[in-house]
Amino acid sequence: MAKILVTGGCGYIGSHTIVDLVENGHEVISADNLSRGFAVMNQRVADLLGLEIVNYQVDLSDRIQARQLFEDHNDIDGIIHFAAYKSVPESVEQPLMYYRNNIDSLVNVLELAQEFGVKNVVFSSSCSVYGNADELPVTESAPMKEAESPYAHTKQIGEGICARFTKAFPDFKIVLLRYFNPVGAHASAKIGEMNKRPENLVPIVTQTAIGLRDSMTVFGTDYDTKDGSCVRDYIHVSDIAHAHTLAMQQSLKNALPGNCEVYNLGTGEGVTVLELIAAFEKVSGLKLNYTIGGRRAGDVIKVYANNSKAEKELGWKPVYDIETMMQTAWAWEKALAETPAGMDS
């Protein structure tokens, strides 16, 4: 059993990863300043596991606060670093806030990992580092294009910091995980994505279906794809969570080829927006109220992953198909609706 610090542990992917880590025999402590995460998520995780997970409400971009956490827990074996702002539109409007928060928190975590001898780190990255990829499916060796947003740029910078850090200090190991499009919720419907104003497709679909929205818009059906709508690689959040557990375990065992490895996390299959809507309608038995709009500026037409490296080196393979992703997302939306205070309880 290893003791793992999960930063951003009250967020969407962080909470699911805590569950997966504990279910695989690890001890976990969480750090989340709750600026974007939800305190109730920590309680929901505890209820799901039957085990209290202590969350430290610290701002990791504040060196003093971050250092206190490491002093209180000087026996950490590994760090999984999620803590970051992630809204693309907000990052365009407030770029400096994103650079300060996302970069400062990473640098503080790495400096403290070095000081306290925590030599295994998993960094939460994104397929947004690729920009508009030239070839599909996207492999980890695809060149990074100019970032489409300050958010994506912070992930590119973060990866560069990790690579240079491990080059300077080769006894440290960092795994960079590039997620494609995380969706769905835990099969128990006890935890999932909590966002009152989501920007991603699936929670917009479920909120429309349950009546929180009158309708939704599909942006563009005249692209060069099978049905004219954009193509994405949707991956279940529990599959992503398990990849973090496997990455940490392989790092702890010194079983990775190098000390800074990068892996795509996707199903390897492209799904159009209209196909996703059809899958949701099939599993829910509902007809979704949506309209067709024009193309949206900045949307990538088509992107999906080559995930063979993660399968080979991490022993990871996604298990959820698109219909199961929609089933769990819908079950979570209904569970939220049945909770008197919704996202606040």
Give residue-wise pLDDT tens across range 300-337.
899 999 999 999 999 999 999 999 999 999 999 999 99
Is 151 tagged catalytic?
yes
Provide mean pLDDT across the span 100-107.
98
Out of 85, 98, 151, 223, pick the active-site residue.
151
Q: Is the pLDDT of residue 136 over 90?
A: yes
CATH number of the domain residue 142 falls in = 3.40.50.720
Give residue-wise pLDDT tens across range 248-305.
999 999 999 999 999 999 999 999 999 999 999 999 999 999 999 999 877 889 999 9
Partners of 218 in beta bridges: 292
Number of domains in the chain: 1
Q: How far is CA 159 from CA 123, 144, 186, 220, 318, in A?
A: 8, 11, 28, 32, 24
More confident residue, 88 or 316: 316
Provide mean pLDDT across the span 156-166.
99
Q: Is the pLDDT of residue 222 over 80?
A: yes
**Rounded CA gap, 281 and 9, in Å?**
32
Q: Is the pLDDT of residue 159 over 80?
A: yes
Domain of 13, in residue numbers: 3-183+235-266+304-315
Q: What is the pLDDT of residue 240?
A: 99
Q: What is the pLDDT of residue 344?
A: 54
Whether residue 199 is contained in a domain is answered as no
Give residue-wise pLDDT tens across range 110-133.
999 999 999 999 999 999 999 888
Q: Is the pLDDT of residue 341 over 80?
A: no
Give residue-wise pLDDT tens across range 186-199.
999 999 999 888 98
Q: Is the pLDDT of residue 141 over 90?
A: yes
Whether residue 197 is contained in a domain is answered as no
Provide mean pLDDT across the span 52-79.
97
Whether residue 228 is contained in a domain is answered as no
Whether residue 209 is contained in a domain is answered as no
Q: What is the pLDDT of residue 340?
A: 57
Quote the mean pLDDT of the chain: 96
Whether residue 331 is contained in a domain is answered as no
Q: What is the pLDDT of residue 313?
A: 98
Q: Answer whether 0.85 is exceeded by the pTM.
A: yes
Tokens of 58: 């610290």
Q: What is the pLDDT of residue 120?
A: 99
Whether residue 334 is contained in a domain is answered as no
Q: What is the pLDDT of residue 131?
A: 86
Q: Classify residue 255 as exposed, middle or buried by CB count within 10 Å of its CB (0-12, 13-18, 19+).
A: exposed
Partners of 232 in beta bridges: 271
Whether residue 107 is contained in a domain is answered as yes
The count of residues in the chain is: 345
Q: What is the pLDDT of residue 345?
A: 46
Whether residue 174 is contained in a domain is answered as yes
Give residue-wise pLDDT tens across range 227-252.
999 999 999 999 999 999 999 999 99
Q: What are phi and psi of 278, to 5 degrees?
A: -65, -40
β pairing state of 181-183 and 173-179 = unpaired
Give residue-wise pLDDT tens across range 89-103.
999 999 999 999 999
Cα dihedral 183, 189, 191, 196 sign: positive
Q: What is the pLDDT of residue 342?
A: 52
Give residue-wise pLDDT tens across range 164-190.
999 999 999 999 999 999 999 999 999
Percent of the chain residues past pLDDT 70, beyond the cut? 98
